[in-house]
Structure 1
Amino acid sequence: MKIAVLTSSILAALVSTSSLAATVYKDETSELKIGGRAEARFNVSDNNEEYDAVTGEKTESAFNDKSRARLNISGKTQISDSLTGFGKYENEVSSGSDIKTRYLFAGIGTQAGDFSYGKQDTSLVMITDFTDTMATFGADADGALALNAGSDKQENNFAYKGKFGGLTVGANYLAENAANSDQYAIAAMYSFDFGLDLGAGYAMGQTADQDVDQVDLGVQYSIADFTFGALYEMTSTDTTGGSDDNDGYELSAQYKLDKWTFVGVYNYATMNDGDDDAVDNFALEAVYKFNSNLRTYAGYKFEQIDNKDDQLQAGIRYDF
């Protein structure tokens, strides 16, 4: 691989607006792709308002800019007939913040599956994706309940994923920097040829010397222009003299009409051993795709908890 050729190819891909995840280098055994997005978006809600603690005067308005941009680089190489190597890096920068690494991992692909290490999704994400379907809101119940080992974009993550016909299996181990905080998870999903996906996963480990575990059950069904998803999640944390047990669920419905996609979701989760509501909301969203590169969207979240306010969010996104 000549450095000059590679450099010029990367620069050409960065300024190109005609493709998604452009292939900037490819030979008989290796391939390098670059992609990303520029997303201008905003949120309007009384939740964004802030007041001076002394004077009581409003210091922040209900309007909050949430614009962001992402850049990702991925590559793969064929080592032998049964062995490949792969890697991915993706960062994000948003208004008023530093560059954040979203993904950074590398691994080996074999006939038995892929083995990788780095900052990457855990195995339960393939199940929570059944209901994480919105550009604006959603996935609140999972966000309130999930362990690190059951969440996306986790560091120090040893991961395995294999696909065998309609069955996809995954496992991961999080080697946390903090003492007594390691976690692990396993998950499986089966996809039928008539549009039905079933998934189940389990995560467990420790957080601050407390034993924690999580169970996920999910289902997704697609028929014609409709896609429906459901997720049930249960977590348990050992406490002095007992345990703190909570659960929640997410429901999602999507309908595609030409260049439009309409989405509705409902999220609910408990806290304090099921005595209080941590999440209770539903949201509606419309997305219009001009083409594979450009889309615009708007969503509204209806909060059902008294001390939380409704939210409006809208944006326009360009993928390259």
Structure 2
Amino acid sequence: MKRNLLAIAIPALLVAAGANASIEVWNKDGNKVDFYGRVKAANNITDRGQVGEGDDTSARLGMSGQTQITDSVTGYGRWEYEAKAGKNSDNEVRYAFAGLNFGDAGSFDYGRNDGVLKAITAYTDVLPQFGGDASNNDWNVLSARTKAVATYRNNNFFGLTDDLSFALQYADNGDNSNGFREDAIRGESREAWGANVQWNIFDTGLTAGAGYAQTSGSDNRQSTWAGGLKYDNYNLYLAANYFQSKFKDVLSYGPTHRGTYKTADGKVRGFELVAQYGIDLEVGRITPSLAYVQHKVKADGVNFVEDNIRYHNSGFSSPVTKYVSLGATYDLNKNFSAIVEYKFNLLDRKDYGAAKNTANSRGEGTKPGTKDVLGVGLIYQF
């Protein structure tokens, strides 16, 4: 019976666990509570004002818990808060959700949680300091943390195999923003839904995953699909993912003097590659890391109506993100790490991403963000 309860509880804790270590503060009568936290003291060094430059120090504190309800049902919850101590000093509730785990029947939870596509884009979100470009942006639907999401997960395909898992998700006006229209800046949000599936290919260490998500409605609709592969075995980690987001009527130029308007459809395509290898030392473990990231935005064309005549102009294509990353993580033990990462910025001055990468995020009155960045830091976690 106890092994049965563990089989039910462990998947919930895997969803809830966000740190490499935690402190168990309560474990009695089927109730368990863990606390975890992290302090990262880091700095991004470059010779030109760019987004994310300078102090990147932050602290996180989280709690995960579970309670046995019946022999086959377990309740669980997670809360995590982050306070940034850098120049922006922004604070954020990263996670706040609760749910029920029904064993082989799967689990259901609701609250602020990862978007369903992050399970795929996170394959390459493992760099020492940078990375996460496909996971944490406004281009992709349900690929970052978002509010008001209801998620169903099944980690063993109804008890038939531990190698196959899937998830379904609905966002009730979650943070599903359109990068062109700057919905995130205006605080707007929309309904969305999505799904993913992952296959652990037998005992090879290879995992394949794919997912799809889209916002609701016919106007300004946005959709994203993503696919990825990762290999984690014998101290070697290799990962790759590819995504594509489509936007309908994403650029709106407003009415002209003749009462007409202009709109454009767009796409963002990107791929990310990561290779890491862990080396055990006499004291701790060092993991060198190499990555290549490239995302490109493309407007299929600009359509505008004037005097009831529809015109079509050619669009544009430009990189949003393009860099090579070389770095390493030195884990002195499970609680303390040192990180270093050098980002070779491959953006040109005229690229769309160079303008977005400037300190004011628009590229107005500043030089294009095309400079390399060195990130260094120390991390304590429990």
TM-score interval (norm. to shorter): 0.7 to 0.9
Select the residue among 256, 269, 272 that pairs with 2:295. 269
Select the residue among 149, 169, 172 that pairs with 2:166. 169
**2:190 corresponding residue in structure 1:** 181
SS in 2 for 1:136: coil
**1:238 corresponding residue in structure 2:** 248
Q: Structure 1 residue 110 and structure 2 residue 102: aligned?
A: yes
Whole-Å separation in 1 of the counterparts to 2:242 and 2:375: 26
SS in 1 for 2:173: coil
**1:128 corresponding residue in structure 2:** 121
Select the residue among 101, 108, 111 that pairs with 2:93. 101
Matched residue type, 1:137: F
**1:294 corresponding residue in structure 2:** 336
Whole-Å separation in 2 of the counterparts to 1:170 and 1:184: 11
How much does 1:99 deviate? 3.2
Select the residue among 196, 209, 212 that pairs with 1:202. 212
Whole-Å separation in 1 of the counterparts to 2:265 and 2:50: 36
Whole-Å separation in 1 of the counterparts to 2:339 and 2:68: 39
Under a length normalisation based on structure 2, what TM-score does the superposition of the two structures give?
0.71
How much does 1:142 deviate? 4.7
Whole-Å separation in 1 of the counterparts to 2:135 and 2:96: 23
Matched residue type, 2:57: S
Select the residue among 150, 155, 158 that pairs with 1:158. 150
Whole-Å separation in 2 of the counterparts to 1:120 and 1:141: 17
**1:312 corresponding residue in structure 2:** 374
Contact 2:200 2:208 in 1 (8 A): yes
Contact 2:22 2:37 in 1 (8 A): yes
Matched residue type, 1:199: G
Residue ranges of structure 1 left out of the alignment (5+ in a row): 1-18, 51-61
Contact 1:131 1:252 in 2 (8 A): yes
How much does 1:65 deviate? 1.1
How much does 1:141 deviate? 4.2
Contact 1:39 1:316 in 2 (8 A): yes
**1:283 corresponding residue in structure 2:** 325
Under a length normalisation based on structure 1, what TM-score does the superposition of the two structures give?
0.85
Matched residue type, 1:43: N
1:125-173 deviations in Å (ceiling 9; x for gaps) = 1111211111201122454564342x23210111111111111101111
Select the residue among 65, 69, 85 that pairs with 1:75. 65
Residues 1:63 and 1:222: Cα distance change in structure 2 (over 3 Å): closer
**2:232 corresponding residue in structure 1:** 222
SS in 1 for 2:131: coil
Residue ranges of structure 2 left out of the alignment (5+ in a row): 1-19, 157-161, 175-186, 250-261, 300-315, 349-367
Matched residue type, 1:76: Q
Range with bigger deviation, 238-247 or 191-200: 238-247
Matched residue type, 1:251: L
**1:84 corresponding residue in structure 2:** 74
Contact 1:180 1:206 in 2 (8 A): no
SS in 2 for 1:252: strand
- Runs ≥4 residues deviating over 6 A: 177-180
Matched residue type, 1:281: Y
Matched residue type, 2:337: R
Residues 1:158 and 1:252: Cα distance change in structure 2 (over 3 Å): same
Contact 2:219 2:248 in 1 (8 A): no
Residues 1:228 and 1:98: Cα distance change in structure 2 (over 3 Å): closer
**2:46 corresponding residue in structure 1:** 45
Residues 1:169 and 1:146: Cα distance change in structure 2 (over 3 Å): farther
Contact 2:128 2:328 in 1 (8 A): no
Whole-Å separation in 2 of the counterparts to 1:203 and 1:139: 18
How much does 1:101 deviate? 0.7
**1:9 corresponding residue in structure 2:** none
SS in 2 for 1:127: helix
How much does 1:83 deviate? 0.7
Contact 2:209 2:227 in 1 (8 A): yes
Percent sequence identity over aligned pairs? 29
Aligned length: 290
Residues 1:284 and 1:81: Cα distance change in structure 2 (over 3 Å): same
1:198-230 deviations in Å (ceiling 9; x for gaps) = 001001114894111111010011342211101
Whole-Å separation in 2 of the counterparts to 1:229 and 1:290: 25
Whole-Å separation in 1 of the counterparts to 2:127 and 2:217: 30
Select the residue among 251, 263, 273 that pairs with 2:273. 251
SS in 1 for 2:190: coil
Whole-Å separation in 1 of the counterparts to 2:138 and 2:194: 15
Contact 1:124 1:187 in 2 (8 A): yes
1:160-189 deviations in Å (ceiling 9; x for gaps) = 111111111011111117888211110000
